[in-house]
Amino acid sequence: MNGYLMEILAREIVQSLPQQKKDMYRYVVRREDELARQASTSDEFMSLLIQHAPHQQAADHFHLSFGKFMTEMREIEKEIDRQLEQKLKQAKWIDCSDIMGSDKSDSLDVLYFYFTAGTGSVRR
């Protein structure tokens, strides 16, 4: 599946998490994104991760031990992965090109798709 759509689904899942878990996850992701913007290579990024320890910063910020924070983060990531896998199994792409009636005089071939990742059924 398209990486952009995967990111949209993942953001939706994070948004649905309980507030504390959402805050913890977003805190780490923001710190890692900041470091990624500063780095020009993957080695430099890894070095910045070690130097700045975003998970330790997050543990301190949320007044948790590092071990407790990492346990919580692993559970959060498992939950995101589980929900993402479930959404991907339910995902449907429906070709609506014939319904949309693309103009045949266009020099570009245009296809229209409807994408759903919900739990409801899709009728054709």
Average pLDDT over residues 84-97: 86
- Enumerate the domain spans of the chain: 3-90, 91-124
- For the chain, how far is it from start to end, CA to CA, in angstroms? 22
- Say what the pLDDT of residue 45 is: 97
Residue 105 predicted with pLDDT over 80 = no
- Mean pLDDT, the chain, as a whole number? 87
In this structure, what DSSP letter does residue 1 have?
-
82 pLDDT band (50/70/90 cuts)? very high
> pLDDT of 62-75, one tens digit each?
999 999 999 999 99
Tell me the CA distances in angstroms from 117 to 76, 92, 94, 95, one per residue in order: 21, 6, 12, 15
Average pLDDT over residues 52-56: 97
Residue 103 predicted with pLDDT over 60 = no
What the block records as the tokens of 51 is 């130097």
User: Exposed, middle or buried by CB within 10 Å (0-12, 13-18, 19+), for 48?
Assistant: middle
Residue 27 predicted with pLDDT over 80 = yes
- Say what the pLDDT of residue 120 is: 47
Q: Which residue has the higher pLDDT, 101 or 114?
A: 114
The owner of tokens 């939950």 is: 79
H-state helical runs in 39-124: 42-52, 54-61, 66-90, 97-100
How much is the pTM? 0.75
